[in-house]
Amino acid sequence: MFSVHLSEIPRTISFRTGLLFLALFGCSFLALFGYIYWQTAFYLKTEADTALYRQVENRSAQAPDLQLLEIRKHAVQDAEARLPHSLFDADGKFIAGAIHQLPPYSAFDKPQEFRWLKANGHHRTIRFIVHRQADGKILLVAQDIHDIREFDELLINALISGGILLLVVGLFGAVALGYSAHRRLDKVSRSIKGIIEGDLTGRLPIQGTNDDIDRLASVVNGMLDELERLMSEVKGVCDDIAHDLRTPLTRLIAGLERAQRRGLDEEQYAGSINAALTEAKALLLTFKALLRISEIENSARRSHFAPLDLNLICADAAELYEPLAEERGIQLTLAESQTPAIIAGDAQLMFDAICNLLDNAIKFCPDQSQVRLTVIAEHSAVGIRVSDNGPGIAPAEREAVLRRLYRAESSRHTPGNGLGLSMVSAVARLHDMQLAVSDAAPGCQIDLLGKKPSATSALLLNPGVQNQL
């Protein structure tokens, strides 16, 4: 297994990225070390040349006799010939000093180098200056630069060993990164394979480092959550259609069969047709509502998004349902926000969602009860809240009521198709809002909340937006 992984490591992005950084670090290392070497070598050579010029100046300033005496004394004191001085006549014949033969030179007063074979048989690199004095004699001032050459070799060896170490560590790091990335991608691939084989509950692994793969896995997991929800809804819709639409279809078929078998007069026949039409229209409205929810979930109406004020939409919805509430003695109150509750959305869809919430609250509340519609414009949230003091929704059913065609047992004989809250849930998802069902103690409370627009978005969302209904 390891050999298979090892053969696939060079194809991983992490390994190639590691090699790229190795090349960048290698070039930086060479550039930095080359600069240090050049500066160091230049400094040492400059210091040696400066010392030679200073010695030439000092020797040239001495009287001939004193100069000859000092050169002979220096040759004795400098037994290792680290700073050899020599004096030659105008023809280049040796007079005094450590170096007995004038080395080849190209010009006077110019630092040059030559290899000097010492008396002990060792070759040394000597840097020297040849100077012609006023009396015609030739002065040779030199310095043994063997230590400088050794230091240069030490720097070069450090460069080579450091480069090899950098290469080995960099390659090892690239292989380790590639192997780690390959193992991680193997886990992701196995998870994806399991999902493809039908396990929609599987999710891509996340390490919690919030790196590129973690962020990608989070997005994919969010997509899988949505797919799982949609698949669950499809299954639930199929079950609910089979359960809830079977009864009206059975009534429709039974009514038509009775009208076919019995000899009915014209009035009875018209009544049967009207009953069949009523059942068919109810079915058509149900399917129309299902299609509208699908349209909302497909984000087909995002192109109609515009700034809107929830205060205005809630006022229109409350005005529309106020007569219905008054017929049953229900007190419908609207609590508007003191500041504009601005969001970006589709005004018609938001109006329909609020109307569905009010319709459910009024429908399931007993007579002489209270329904309250509140506009929320807080520091971090904008939305609406519908609360009542009716029977409420059991905690076990608060998630189920958002499914399409789902109806609680207590409301099966109440007019409706079980799609109202499903449509509100679809509108909430389209507007990136959260739909929450809770207990109003007593009654039910439904919150439809979204994030407050940022400062930049708030400038774009004009508070003076007009009602778009």
pLDDT digits (tens, 9 = 90+) for 420-451: 677 788 888 888 888 888 888 788 888 888 87
216-224: long-range contacts at Cβ-Cβ below 8 A with a sequence spacing of 24 or more? 217/188, 224/195, 224/200
Spell out the domain ranges in the chain.
212-297, 303-460
> Would you state the pLDDT for residue 239?
63
pLDDT band per the 50, 70, 90 thresholds, residue 249: confident
From residue 452, give the alpha-carbon distance in Å to each of 336, 344, 457.
17, 10, 9
Region 197-226 average pLDDT: 82
Strands 123-132 and 85-88: unpaired
What integer pLDDT is reported at residue 131 of this predicted model? 92
pLDDT of residue 33: 84
Q: Rounded to whole angstroms, how far apart are CA atoms 5 and 184?
A: 12
Q: Which carries the bigger pLDDT value, residue 175 or residue 457? A: 175
pLDDT of residue 195: 81
From CA 134, how far away is CA 59, in angstroms rounded?
12
Amino acid at 432: D
Instruction: Express each pLDDT in 289-337 by its tens digit.
Output: 666 666 666 655 566 678 888 999 999 999 998 989 998 898 999 988 8
| CA 134 remoteness from chain centre | 79
The gap between the terminal CA atoms of the chain, to the nearest Å, is 65
Q: What is the pLDDT of residue 52?
A: 92
Higher pLDDT, 120 or 113: 113
Give the separation between CA 252 and CA 290, rounded to whole angstroms. Answer: 20
What is the domain class of 303-460 according to CATH?
Answer: alpha beta
Mean pLDDT of 256-277: 76
Q: pTM of the prediction?
A: 0.47
Q: Is 122 left (phi over 0), alpha (psi -120 to 50) or beta?
A: beta
Mean pLDDT confidence for 114-135: 84
In the prediction, which pLDDT does 168 show?
A: 87
**So what's the pLDDT on residue 462?**
47
Compute φ and ψ for 449, nearest 5 degrees.
Answer: -125, 145
Mean pLDDT for 231-259 is: 70
Position of tokens 């299902």? 290
**For the chain, percent of residues with pLDDT exceeding 70:** 81
pLDDT at 211 over 80: no
Q: Which CATH number fits domain 212-297: 3.30.450.20, 1.10.287.130, 3.40.50.300, 3.40.50.720?
A: 1.10.287.130
The residue type of 218 is S
- The whole-angstrom separation of Cα 207 and Cα 180 is 12
Confidence of residue 456 (pLDDT cuts 50, 70, 90): very low
pLDDT at residue 54, as a whole number: 92
How much is the mean pLDDT over the chain? Answer: 80
Distance CA 289, CA 355 (A): 14
